[in-house]
Amino acid sequence: MGRALGILGCCLALALLPLPAAPRGPALRPRRQLRPGGRSADTACKNRPLDLVFIVDSSRSVRPEEFEKVKIFLSEMIDTLDVGERTTRVAVMNYASTVKVEFPLRTYFDKASLKEAVSRIEPLSAGTMTGLAIQTAMEEVFTEEMGTRPATFNIPKVVIVVTDGRPQDQVQDVAASARTAGIEIYAVGVDRADMQSLRMMASEPLDEHVFYVETYGVIEKLTSRFRETFCAVNVCALGTHGCQQVCVSNGASHLCDCYEGYTLNPDKTTCSAMDMCAPGRHDCAQVCLSNDGSYSCGCYEGYTLNPDKKTCSGAITSSLVTTEESCKCEAIAALQDSVTSGLEALSRKLEEVSEKLQAYQDRQQIV
């Protein structure tokens, strides 16, 4: 009995000892916030597929040398585009009093061939039937037979009209029908172009779809404007960004990032799991267990994890007492047994002496 009480007393004393100070670090740092930098002004347009049709005015008012400027503008526009069968397809229409499809969307899928075809275009020299040109684009060019991709592909259909005069037909209703059919219209006016007509044919918002230059000699200035317009797309939404985990759109460009618990590798596209149990990354009181970009908490032997899954408490169970602590308890219990035995023996001796003394006193009284 005395031995059992000794062990229990020892264990209770150990359980009531103060807990060791928990190693505390700062809370988990939030995933870094990217601040995308500005895009270079001469970055070519990438990753925005278009079905793009140029409609150019070659009426009598456009002098031959001016028409050559238009063709240079077309060639420079082609240079800025990501041309290809699966990316941007380009068609060119030439109009005056009649309309000529110089080449449809299905014909050329590389820049060199497109620019060579543009260089061969000749002006038609009479009239300005802009409405007829837009109508022809709807009926003859924006068809699957001529290279327009199906609506299910969700490829934008875009028209750029370049003119220096006033339409000689009813362009307003035709342009409205084209816009209703899903065709986005940009109107480029040069020199004597009628601004009201440009605004009637262009898509909304007008300040983003109507352009004007003073002469054909400076029309090339519009190249950068269109490049910025066509590149203003969420590259991340197209699924071509190559980021392993997170894509951050930056105009026509993008940056890659990683989920919390991961760090971006030097290749700037893939991610690796961080050691979440490194100093300062976790909030476990005693033991941190790393697990592929995450972590969980544990406790030293002799302690149990609290419901908050972070801190620990001492446990009053003999199974959690260490070997060294058990040995200490055994030694104390043995000492207590030895003292108890000595006290019991001494008590018996005292009882014997007391009995002998009582017997002596009784004899003396008899005498």
Same domain for 57 and 132, yes or no, is: yes
Asked whether residue 302 is domain-assigned, the answer is: yes
Q: Are strands 246-250 and 253-257 parallel, antiparallel or unpaired?
A: antiparallel
Tokens of residue 17, six digits? 């000892």
User: What domain count does the chain have?
Assistant: 3
On the CB side of 335, CA atoms within 13 Å amount to 8
Tokens of residue 101, six digits? 């499809």
Contact 303, 297 (CB under 8 A): no
Q: pLDDT tens digits, the chain, 367 residues: what are they?
A: 445 445 444 444 444 444 444 433 333 333 333 333 333 334 444 557 899 999 999 998 899 999 999 999 999 999 989 899 999 999 999 999 999 999 999 999 999 999 999 999 999 978 899 999 999 999 999 999 999 999 999 999 999 999 988 899 989 999 999 999 999 999 999 988 899 999 999 999 999 999 999 888 888 888 888 887 887 555 666 566 788 888 876 545 678 888 877 888 999 889 988 877 877 778 899 899 887 767 889 999 889 999 999 999 986 544 444 555 556 667 777 777 777 887 888 888 888 888 888 877 777 777 6
Contact 102, 93 (CB under 8 A): yes
Query: How many other CB atoms are there within 10 angstroms of residue 308's CB atom?
Result: 9
Number of H helices, E strands in the chain: 9, 14
Tokens of residue 55, six digits? 């409609």
Same domain for 113 and 215, yes or no, is: yes
Contact 242, 30 (CB under 8 A): no
Q: Residue 255: which domain range?
A: 237-273
Asked whether residue 343 is domain-assigned, the answer is: no
Asked whether residue 149 is domain-assigned, the answer is: yes
Same domain for 227 and 242, yes or no, is: no
Same domain for 300 and 158, yes or no, is: no
Same domain for 243 and 225, yes or no, is: no
Which amino acid, 267? D
Same domain for 74 and 143, yes or no, is: yes
Instruction: Report the CATH number that the domain containing residue 129 is assigned in CATH.
Output: 3.40.50.410
Nearest to 89 by CA among 76, 108, 112: 108
Asked whether residue 347 is domain-assigned, the answer is: no
User: Can you state the angle between helices 323-366 and 2-15, rounded to 10 degrees?
Assistant: 140
